[in-house]
Structure 1
Amino acid sequence: MEKAKKIKIYLGTLYLLIVFIFLWFFFSKFSLNDLATYDFIKNNRDYIFKVKQNDFFLTIFLFIFFTIIWVLLLGFGSPIFLLGGFIFGKWFGTLIVTFSLTIGATILYLFASYFLKDLIIETFSKKFYSLSEKFKKNEFIFFLIYRFVGGIPFPIANILPVLFNVKLKNYFFGTFFGILPTLFVGTTLGSGIEKIINENEIAPSFFDILTSKHVYYPILGFFIILIIALIVRKINYLNKI
């Protein structure tokens, strides 16, 4: 247990150091005022698309690599699916985002299984012990449901299955297909934002953005998935998640 605590301190320190370096580098190049301007977003959209046009496969590789690092640093999924939809569009973006997040989550799961298992058990076992029996009945199906219904922050959801010793194959495919519906909707939203920027030389009003079919369809999709997830959670007695 003492070893796990030391690892936690080392990882926490490394994480904060990396975040600090990233923020320092980022804000040495850009100011908050720059980030808030429509011209900044539009110009960088043009730059990203130029890079993608010049070397499509390099863009894919860099996106996958960045996503894996992001997940390992306990980042949330929403910035990734918005960015993926923005760069790659709705259909291909969904595939790339889902694959990238699944790879990152699987690597994090392996790392947590080997180095943080005691810490995870100590922290989460009391609250989630009741789920053990459900995993034993049909590990893949229940893990698929677990991924789909959500309700747990993405970084924690990635490492929590360590409690239940989920098989690697079930973890990978359960994650891929479980998060796919939500990521499709989120990636569609990112793609819609890109279309709005491409179609407007000047910044549209918030109302115009919200009422655009590129945006309100994905938002409606989120609500539909949320309702389905709540029903599935109720049926499978996952209200404690």
Structure 2
Amino acid sequence: MTKPLTLAARWRQRLPIIIIACVAILGTLVLREYLSFEALRENRAALIAFRDSHYLLTAGGFILAYIAIVSFSLPGATAATLTGGFLFGLFPGALFNVFAATVGAVLIFWAVRAGFGRSLAAKIEASDGRVKRLTLAIRANEFPVLFSLRLMPVLPFFVMNVIPALIGVRTSVFAASTFLGIMPGGLIYTWVGAGLGEVFARDETPDLGIIFELHILGPLLGLAALSLLPTILKTLRGKEREI
């Protein structure tokens, strides 16, 4: 039996979450106008000039900034994705975007797991009932479930970083399902960002709802359903054995 943590130890575990929450609140109040599409529109010439003079520094700074936006749950993730496409094109822009988003997601996943996940997972293990059965069902099919949820824009990105940490999903599965699951959406928004030069020239606003159009959303939903097919078949076979 594990020894209960002292109050000081519990606070140390939860310190990363407290820092993230404080930075998220402060960032929402202070940085919202700087992490927006309008800020990109107004500073596009300066950004392009800096990129042309210091490409590697721009790429590194962009990736670090994107990681910070995701890991601290700051506003502006969509604007950052568009910026990646605008500055670096579809490739390597999409790679920068997906990599940075995945790293940021893993960091907040670790913070939540350290602060609450392990103790909550232990409580679930010791409990009985629906929550435990649901948790065990997800753990038995971690990758297909998380991959399909990343593909389908059903839950907010932040929520999908927190829930797996709370139920004890393995880091490797979380990182892989995040990287692969957000890739289609990341490619779409990076592609939109790569075409922002023409959008700016026409003084228009990009269509960020493009991912919800049927010809794009349909294949994503189909891929998500296909990823769940082995899990569904496994469940049906288990029920047949019970009968």
| Same fold flag (TM > 0.5) | yes
- SS of the residue corresponding to residue 108 of structure 1 reads helix
Change (3 A) 1:137 1:42: closer
Identity of aligned residues (%): 21
1:82/1:191 contact within 8 Å kept: yes
Aligned counterparts of 2:151 and 2:225: Cα–Cα separation in 1? 13
- What residue number does 1:50 align with? 49
Aligned residue among 145, 157, 162 for 1:154: 157
Give the alignment of 1:1-241 within 5 angstroms.
3=10, 11-22=20-31, 44-75=43-74, 77-117=77-117, 131-197=134-200, 200=201, 203=203, 219=210, 223-231=214-222, 236=228
CA distance in 2 between counterparts of 1:136 and 1:10 reads 29
Comparing 99-108 and 219-228, the one that deviates more: 219-228
Whether the aligned pair in 2 keeps the contact of 1:108 and 1:159 (CA below 8 Å) is yes
Give the match's secondary structure for 1:226: helix
5+ residue gaps, structure 2, are 124-128, 230-243
Following the alignment from structure 1 to structure 2, what is the Cα–Cα distance between the partners of residues 233 and 128? 24
Shift of residue 186 of structure 1? 0.9
Report the TM-score when normalising by structure 2. Answer: 0.69
What is the aligned residue count?
Answer: 214
TM-align CA RMSD? 3.9
* Structure 1 residue 12, shift from structure 2 partner: 3.1
Distance 2:166 2:97 in 1: 26
Change (3 A) 1:230 1:131: farther
Shift of 1:109: 0.7
Maintained 8 Å contact 1:52/1:59: yes
For 1:21 and 1:180, locate their aligned partners in 2 and report how far apart those are by CA, in whole Å.
Answer: 30
> How far is the alpha carbon of 1:173 from its aligned partner?
1.5
Question: Aligned equivalents of 1:99 and 1:187: distance in 2?
Answer: 13
User: Quick one: distance in 2 between partners of 1:149 and 1:166?
Assistant: 19
Match of 1:185, as an amino acid? I
* Unaligned runs of at least 5 residues, structure 1: none
The answer to whether the 8 A contact 1:132-1:164 is kept is: yes
Contact 2:82 / 2:192 at 8 angstroms: preserved in 1? yes
The Cα shift of 1:110 comes to 0.9
